[in-house]
Structure 1
Amino acid sequence: MEKSGRPEKKRLFGLSLLLSILVLLLEATVALVVSLVYDVTQESPNAGGGGSAMFIFLLPVLAVFATAIAGALSVGLVFPTAWLSGVLGRRFGGRDMGWVPVAAGAVSLVIVAAVVALAGGAGAVPPAWAGS
């Protein structure tokens, strides 16, 4: 039981993992469609071109690898961020879900700073990230 007298809800790991993977795959699909539409709408110096129709046969193979990557991202990023928001919610009071943007922003800031540092711009953290 929690302090408030309500029973604590048990989160199912498998169901949470499946939902996280599905959301990440949906985001990847939207990004792929946006990328393809963007490529179609841009002028190309070589007027022939276009993608191969064989790309459709590659999609199931890509789906297997994308699912594995989404699973790794869920376990490595999504679950720790959800855990951090729960810890912040219990520590500072209020609902756990209210701390999700704060936790996601903190995790994103660390990841962006690490990528920028690895890319050679050690002091060049984007101002929009640093100001938030």
Structure 2
Amino acid sequence: MTDETGDAALRSEERLEKARRTAEDKAEAMAEYHAETKALLDKTAKLRALRLEKERLQAERDILSPPPPSTKGRGKAAIAARAALAAEKVKPVAAKKVIEKVLKAKLAKDKATTAKPAKTTRKAKTPK
């Protein structure tokens, strides 16, 4: 009977040791999980604060500076205005003047071409 009692005590100790190791592993895993979660929340809060600050500064800039003039046309004048802006690297404030200049030049050119009288075509000669 002593063998059976000794075996039972040994198995009991092994189960107790296994339960202790499992509890330690669980506690370690939970501590690691909580540390990772806290780090993630801290990082998220920091990034959110940076994003909100950036948005606030952008809103202030938008209020203080007027929007740049639009060069989003499909016509030749808008294309020429964009090309002039790119070539001269004009600041957005001066872009409006460049666009107006290009549009005035195009308008003057259109008026000049429409003001010319139409050419008369020669009639075909009739054979004698």
TM-score (norm 1): 0.29
Rg comparison, structure with higher value = 2
**Greater relative contact order structure (CA < 8 Å, 6+ sep):** 1
Q: Of Structure 1 and Structure 2, which has the larger fraction of its residues in helix? A: 2
TM-score (norm 2): 0.30
